[in-house]
Amino acid sequence: MDTLLPAERSERMALIRSKDTKPELIVRRLVHSLGFRYRLHNRKLPGKPDLVFAGRRKVIFIHGCFWHRHSRTCPLTRLPKSRLDFWKPKLEKNRRRDLKNQRFLRAAGWDILVIWECELSNVESVKLEILKFLRKDVAIG
């Protein structure tokens, strides 16, 4: 049973952002500090990737562990305590949609990096992962 009235639940859900989230802003600042430039949320690409490096044909998604269903061992991938009949299908649909969008992007020749919210507890590790991803297949010299 939901403890909030429908209007209160609607108001609370409206506060959840899909763009400019804290994890996304951390990654954007990090990528910018590394000297890479990007475009945001290209609507023409499946899934509207968070960061798009068109010249390199690479995209980065920054996923919240709860909404995008990170692994079962991730503590942020918990299920709500109420209304499981609503939440389980909704969250599973998000996960399936993400996988489908990634398949379309790969088929179109794009490289994909997914950064999970929980990984941002170690920014140095994420920094190295981004550098490796963005420099891959780039001729140096």
pLDDT of residue 79: 84
> Count of domains in the chain?
1
- Domain assignment present for 107: yes
Cα–Cα distance for residue pair 35/52, rounded to 1 Å? 14
The pLDDT value given to residue 74: 87
Residue 92 sits in a domain whose CATH number is 3.40.960.10
Question: How large is the average pLDDT for residues 114-131?
Answer: 95
Over residues 21-76, the pLDDT tens digits come to 899 999 999 999 999 999 999 999 999 999 999 999 999 999 999 888 888 788 88
Q: Alpha-carbon distance 18 to 28, whole Å?
A: 15
**pLDDT band at 78; cut points 50, 70, 90:** confident
Strands 58-63, 111-116: pairing is parallel
In a domain, 88, yes or no: yes
